[in-house]
Structure 1
Amino acid sequence: MSYATAALATYANSLSTLDHLVTKAESHETGEALLHARLAEDMFPLHTQIRFTIDQVMTALKRLGKVDLSTDDSDITSFADAHSRIAAARALVAETDPANWPASGDIVEFDLPNGMAFAMQAHEYCRDWATPQVYFHLMTTYTILRAEGLAVGKADYVGYMMKYLKQPAS
């Protein structure tokens, strides 16, 4: 399996998990005020963590999948908005052809807004940058929900694993 095929499957799973977490968040007693919850004062709130999870997938699709996309930098203002953006990202992941991704050893270069610049092989970018960024913001979303008292657990974070569940032997 190519790194591109593996990455696209990972991004599809992560976006599915994100959508599931947003669905569970809708039941929280504070309603959409939950979107402003944060773990610490110097961390971004839930709505930004959701947006960053989506944006990291979209950025990987731009850099590796050569998909011409613009990211929506506006705040997520509602759970419906979050679901809509997640659905759009999931559709793009599903439509992305891994054959269009650069060869594993091709160099990917990018700059961050803080002036840092990176150059690495395509598979390294995927493994060491893009995928950890997706997981960081997804896990932070999960953690904010836990900290706010939402009943979520590991099964909510890795719910996609249930398709592999074997029935117990009789």
Structure 2
Amino acid sequence: MSLTMYQTSVPVFVRGLKILSTLLGKAQAYTIEHGQDPADLLNARLAPDMLSLIGQVQRASDTSKLSGQRLSGVAAPRFEDTETSFAELEQRIAKSIAYLETLQPAQFEGSESRTIQLNFGEFKPSFTGNSYLLTFALPNFFFHITTAHDILRHNGLPIGKLDYLGTFN
């Protein structure tokens, strides 16, 4: 049996978001344990021209839900990017997961050949659903998860590769 577009998207996004949620829980506990202002971690970035931890979580959320929308045809919820706390980021992740979990495999049938056009101003790449998922959506999603992990690690959290990989089941 071949892998389906559903199998290679929704469960992967849900798992990544759950791992990101676990990382945020560890970050929040770390700030409490060390008497640190949570804003220091939430606004931390790896380089001045990169998004903060908040921005990384927002983009991972957006990538997962908009990919679900583009591949299934089911409208995703829109979030305003107003999160300023760990609790608000956790809520955003939970809402993203809740949306993804409403999607059904049948809604992805034929999506591998669907045309997906993105709009980044003057840059408007066009993909088949298959190439969109494999060359844009998944790499973009994991870039933001990885960068969030790296921001936390760079700022002293005792996390490593196994925290990034999560549980295996």
2:88 pairs, out of 62, 65, 81, with 81
Pairing of 1:9-48 with structure 2 (within 5 A) = 9-27=11-29, 28=31, 29=34, 30-33=36-39, 34-48=41-55
Can you give the 5+ residue segments of structure 2 that lack an aligned partner in the other structure? none
Contact 1:108 1:121 in 2 (8 A): yes
Shift of 1:109: 2.5
Contact 2:44 2:53 in 1 (8 A): yes
What is the letter of the counterpart of residue 62 of structure 2?
A: D
2:78 pairs, out of 71, 86, 91, with 71
* CA RMSD of superposed structures (Å): 1.5
Can you give the 5+ residue segments of structure 1 that lack an aligned partner in the other structure? 164-170
Aligned: 1:2 with 2:4: yes
Aligned residues between the structures:
162
Q: 1:143 to 1:81 in 2, by over 3 A?
A: same
Pairing of 1:110-129 with structure 2 (within 5 A) = 110-129=117-136
Q: 1:88 to 1:70 in 2, by over 3 A?
A: closer
Contact 1:25 1:145 in 2 (8 A): yes
2-structure distance, mates of 1:152, 1:84? 22
Shift of 1:55: 0.6
**TM-score, normalised to structure 2's length?**
0.89
Match of 1:106 in 2: 113
**TM-score, normalised to structure 1's length?**
0.88
